[in-house]
Amino acid sequence: MKTDFTMLLGFKAALFQGLLTTLKLTLICIVLGCVLGFFVGLARGSGSRWLRGTTRLYVEFFRGTPVIVQLFWIFFCLPLVLGVELSNLTSAVIALTLYMGAITSETFRASLRSVGREQLDACVALGLPKRIQVANVILPQALLRSIPTLLSNCVSLFKESALVSAVGMADLMFVGQNISNNTARPIEVLTAVALIYFAIAFPLTRAVTGVERRLLSKLAA
């Protein structure tokens, strides 16, 4: 069968709408996941053995199991456990947020450990409340040191978001699959979908390298 990529012009609006859904979902889960990951990272360094153990179990579970399995469990099993209905959007947000929280918590934990102990001792000596220490001393430095890895995590989440098509969410992958099935043109459609993902992920990946170089030079100065 001869390929004809011009046929995609008739579906550009649908593909664009699917891309918007993917980007919105990714952005929501990035924000929620980073907030969750920061607090989990703090808890991993807590003096409470129970809190450290619980958060470690959470991180190891969500880093050590496939995201598709997590998504399916939340979509199909969690409603049975809770006795409530969950939409595919809600299930996708929960699954990707928990995954993002797990991978970013390790990023934050490493950056939090890099904050000099003498600065924390100075905060204690000045009598600063714990929330002031976190907000004004620990958080800014931790964020600065974690930016390159966080950007890499964001790119990973963007690519993993394609899995939500498996639960019927109309993201870019789901729209592409539908167009492919209806037109019997999988080569053209799926190639276009892959190129769209690449066109967004590749510049971000290059940006990570640039940010990392600038950050290293700044920290070395």
Greater confidence (177 vs 138) lies with 177
Backbone angles phi, psi at 47, to 5 degrees: -80, -10
pLDDT score recorded for residue 44: 85
pLDDT score recorded for residue 60: 95
- Measured CA to CA, the distance from residue 3 to residue 186 in angstroms comes to 10
pLDDT score recorded for residue 192: 95
Ranges of H-type helices in 85-161:
88-113, 117-125, 130-132, 139-160
Cα four-point dihedral sign 44, 46, 49, 55: negative
Confidence of residue 115 (pLDDT cuts 50, 70, 90): low
- Domain segments of the chain as ranges: 5-220
What is this structure's pTM?
0.87
pLDDT score recorded for residue 121: 64
Which residues lie closer than 8 Å to 187 by C-beta, 6 or more apart?
1, 3
Greater confidence (213 vs 98) lies with 98
- Report pLDDT digits (tens) over 168-193: 999 999 999 999 999 999 999 999 99
Distances (CA, A) of 54 to 63, 71, 93: 14, 21, 22
Cβ contact 15:171 at 8 Å: no
Confidence of residue 95 (pLDDT cuts 50, 70, 90): very high
- Taking the CA atoms of the chain, what radius of gyration do you get in angstroms? 21
Residue 90 CA from chain centroid, whole number: 15
Confidence of residue 147 (pLDDT cuts 50, 70, 90): confident
Q: Which two tokens stand for residue 162?
A: 């394609």
CATH fold of 5-220: MetI-like fold (1.10.3720)
- Which of 172, 197, 26 shows the shortest CA–CA distance to 95? 26
Q: What is the mean pLDDT of the chain?
A: 87
- Report pLDDT digits (tens) over 55-68: 999 999 999 999 99
Q: Which two tokens stand for residue 118?
A: 């003498």
